[in-house]
Every structure is written in C-alpha cells, then in structure tokens.
Amino acid sequence: MKKYDVIIIGAGPAGLTAAIYCARYKLDTIIIGKTAGGLAGGSYEVCNFPSHKKIKGIELMAKIIAHVKELGVKINQEEVKEINKNKEFEITTDKEKYSARKIIIATGSERRKLELKKEKEFTGKGVSYCATCDAAFYKDKVVGVLGGSDAALTSALLLTKFAKKVYIIYRKEKFCRAEPIWIEEVLENKKIKPIFDSTISELIGEKKLEGVKLNDGKELELDGLFIEIGNIPNTYLAEKLGVKLDCENIIVDKKQKTNVEGVFAAGDVTNNPLKQIITACGEGAVAANTIYKELTHDTSMPQ
C-alpha cells in the first residue's frame, strides 16, 4: 500500500490547486478523482477568472492539470469506495488501496435531477445535463434549457451556435440569479425565447424525448432538453467519516478544517457561500497551507 502525506479526493479546481500548493511544500501528494477537471471542465465560458478575459472551461482546466503534472503530482482517475481512519487514513478505490496522513475532500457536486418519469430513460436520448458536451448534436434543431442561473443562460447561448431555436424555461417571472451581463446577452439573442413562470411537469416521447408538458398544461415540442437546475454536493464519503454537514454541505472553518481530525474540505462541497472556480482554488490553497503547517509544525505563512 503506497503511503502519502496528503491524498486529495477530487480533481476539480479545488483539488488541483491544493495539489499545486502541496507539491510546492514538498508534501508527497496524489489526486484521486473520477473526472479530471470536474464540472468546471464542462463550463461553456469562464469570464471571471483572473488572467483570462474569456476562456472555455475545458481549456482552463487543461492548463491547471498541466501545471499539477509539471510539479510531479499524479492524478489517478479512480473512484474512492471507502475511507477508514486508524492512525492514518486508508483509502480504497475501485483499483487500489492507499494510505495518507491527511486528506482533502474536494469531491464537488453533481447535477441536480428533475426526478420525473422517463428522465433516466431519456438521458442521452434528448435529455442532457451538459451543453458543452452535447450541443453539437442539435444542429438546426429545437431545444430547451431548464433553469435561470449563469449555467442555464450560458448553456442557452452556446446552444444558439447549433440549434435553430432555444427556449429557456424558468420558474420565476424574470431572470434574477444570473449575472446581468449574461441576462443582457440572452435577452438580445433572437434565437432564444424565455418562458417565465413555468416548470416542466412531464417528459413526452416514446423511445426518445419529443417534447415536454409545462405546469400550465401546455406542451412544447423539443428535440433536446438541457437541465440546469443546480447541483448537489457529493458528501457521501465525508458523511461516512462522521464529518458534520449543514444540511447539504460540509462545514469547514477558515482553515478548511472539518470536525474530524486530519480531514479537510474545499470547493463546491463546502458550506462557503460563493460556488465559483476562483473560490474553490482559494479554498484548496488554504487547505494545503494548513496541512503543511500541521505536518511541519511551522507557524509561519510560506509563500
């Protein structure tokens, strides 16, 4: 069983940044995560990350991943099945077993589902949770986006590059969660038609999605539906370790420590209020710095 100073669970912005700092602190570190880049890699455009006025999510994550690898940190694409704590942490994945003195949980979140009949059946057959992944399949077709967040609006804008018509179905009377700049672009785009005060009550189709029924009974013919109604933090592993949550998120202090000794958390899985790539990176850096101080008993703030 290979032993490490730090094992980072999750390969999104928080985990990757934590690895960069751990490597610079000369801590023996490995990242274990199912998807290198995390959900951030599926972002259409990132426009609020310093040094990049505008960059595709997949491009930004590729740059950060390259930085991590240049520092000699391995990124193993495996799924963690179990974590046990004795004197150290024993981590079992679908492929290997590992041991660590400290762990950082940076497992991020997963797309929230509608929980409607046929949703699972139609996933990949008209229902999608990633416009960046699937937009090109809908050239000259009619699609819908459910949601009113930044993710929903940027997904709609991306889809206009392929689809001939894009509906945005949103439960409120106007867009209020997204950044004003995205709202402005959406409202000015002639391919996009918002449908406010509406939700989806039923998915229509036999072998694939053919349309949706709205809460007012009206039916809308669609070739595709992109669901962007938020995310659910991946806290399963943390809960099994006895880590405390505030409803859905891992509770951390200003040093990214949880209530369980040796367990840190960073990124979208924590109770910090702003869920952005830049804040996830910051939390990863803080977690790594705290671990460095604890392992070396250093009270200074290394640069």
Q: Active-site positions?
A: 130, 133-134
d(CA 146, CA 139): 19
Distance CA 27, CA 19 (A): 9
Residues in the chain: 303
Neighbours of 29 (CB within 10 A): 27
Q: Which of 295, 272, 274 is nearest to 88 (CA)?
A: 295
* Residue 217 CB contacts under 8 Å (≥ 6 apart), including other chains: none
Instruction: Judge whether 187 and 179 are in contact, CB under 8 Å.
Output: no
Which residue, among 133, 101, 105, 74, has the nearest Cα to 236 in the 3D structure? 105
Residue in the structure block whose two tokens are 């952005």? 276
**DSSP string covering 141-178:** -EEEEE--SHHHHHHHHHHTTT-SEEEEE-SSSS--SS
